[in-house]
Amino acid sequence: MRHTFQTLAIPSRAGLMFGRSPRPVTCGFGLTLGNGAVFPELNFTLPTMALDEANWTAVVAQYEEIGSMIERAAPRLKLPGLVAEFELLPPMTEHPSWGAQITGILHQHLKKLYEEHGIPCALRVTPTDIRDVTKPPALRSGKPLDQLLQSFRECGSSGAHILSIESVGGKEVHDEALLYGDIDGIIFALGVLAPRDVTFLWERIVEICSKAHVVPGGDSACGFANTAMQLAGQGMLPEVLAAVIRAASAVRSLAAFECGAVGPSKDCAYEGPVIKAITGVPIAMEGKSASCAHFSPVGNVAAAMCDLWSNESVQNVRLLSGSAPEAYLELLAYDCRLFNAALQSGSGSEYQQLLVDSDARLSPQAFVLTPAATTRIASAIVGHKNHYGMTLAAAKEAVALLEEARASEELTMNVREIEWLARISESLEALPSDEGRIISLMQERYGHLFSHESYGL
């Protein structure tokens, strides 16, 4: 049964605080998230190596090594708790038993950590969305969907405590529209196609989680908003476009929570604060300590409302200090000590303000992630009757925030950014309010890229 959020779970910016959420989640081995502390979420991946049947023993050895490292490093760092995330690589989802085997190995290491050292912990597992192998993608039928759902089932029964995904429905249109800076296509992909696919997928994921007694975590607009963020970071797209996409992408990620996801949301879902404001669930975020995986202009502000603090992904390679995952676990541990010391001393709000102030003036993408902007974007989203209306409202609110910030000189933008902001605003205002009309318009422009069956259209 789909739940529609009509009001904000956290109605004021003052309530949006790291480490605290109105709907804490208890999972794994005695770990409660969002209940007054921030915990590290360590994410890791393979070094450069073949991932196939012939090399499988070596692949397994990598994850054994990482699991052993966590067991050793977590007590050394005196962690109050942690989440380890295993993001499957495509072949591990195509062969569900492969992903399940690694899940089982990591589960055993965390179990030992809890039993021998009393450190609360949980394992998040994220199968890869492999449904985009065909063009246009067949999202609602076929072998990749079967493999994906089977991967969820097998990981769920092999020891995952939280299941998540970075789903790709709508990306086939979004990618094209993004490159051309076509706002109509971007909003259509984010507000019409993507939420339909997220709903289809999460109705099934929630059911699988329920049967396996696993927490349905959340989805991420990584393939959409993070692609925009990376292209903007390389100077290929305006930052204001990436900022508006970030706000608009919250709606497609919210659809997972409408279907029963309960958090923690995915680390790469930088739209997480909006999800937290609307739903009250704990969120995972990543920023400065994820520079091992990618760069961003939101390194500090991204931490302002997090409940889990992640490194996104790091290869299991040697550094001078030790393994890269261990080095990043230490970074996250110190970040989290600071969050938690601030909360315990009653200085949470002051520390949060520093995290916000140090980034928000420097980038439109950072500006839309502040608690104040988050509250406004979340308020704009709730109450609309469909995802398209919600997405359009979020995008317009982001534009309004950026225009106000420019006018008040809270945010500095160059001429080209200002021109683009005006162009985005005009395009949004010209979009029809009726979903049927946008579907018909975009069918003409992008109909060759997507299949109607994949979205129940």
Residues near another protein (CB under 8 A) are 45-51, 89-91, 132-133, 135, 175, 179-182, 227, 231, 234-238, 315, 416, 420
Q: Residue 408 class from Cβ within 10 Å (0-12 exposed, 13-18 middle, 19+ buried)?
A: exposed
The rounded radius of gyration (Å) of the Cα atoms in the chain is 21
- List the structure tokens of 367: 């500006």
CB of 38 to another protein, least distance (A): 29
Q: Residue 35 forms beta bridges with which residues? A: 20
d(CA 394, CA 380): 6
Give whichever of 176 and 403 is closer to another protein, judged by the CB atom: 176
Give whichever of 158 and 313 is closer to another protein, judged by the CB atom: 313
CB of 241 to another protein, least distance (A): 8
CB of 171 to another protein, least distance (A): 10
Give whichever of 338 and 362 is closer to another protein, judged by the CB atom: 362
Give whichever of 239 and 307 is closer to another protein, judged by the CB atom: 239
Cα–chain center distance at 360: 20
Closest CA to 168 of 207, 124, 128, 205: 128
CB of 74 to another protein, least distance (A): 26
CB of 227 to another protein, least distance (A): 7
CB of 274 to another protein, least distance (A): 25
Give whichever of 1 and 180 is closer to another protein, judged by the CB atom: 180
Give whichever of 60 and 231 is closer to another protein, judged by the CB atom: 231
- CA trace torsion 158, 159, 162, 163 (10° rounding): -10
Give whichever of 88 and 208 is closer to another protein, judged by the CB atom: 88
Give whichever of 95 and 276 is closer to another protein, judged by the CB atom: 95
CB of 180 to another protein, least distance (A): 5
CB of 135 to another protein, least distance (A): 7
Closest CA to 182 of 228, 229, 234, 230: 228
d(CA 56, CA 383): 50
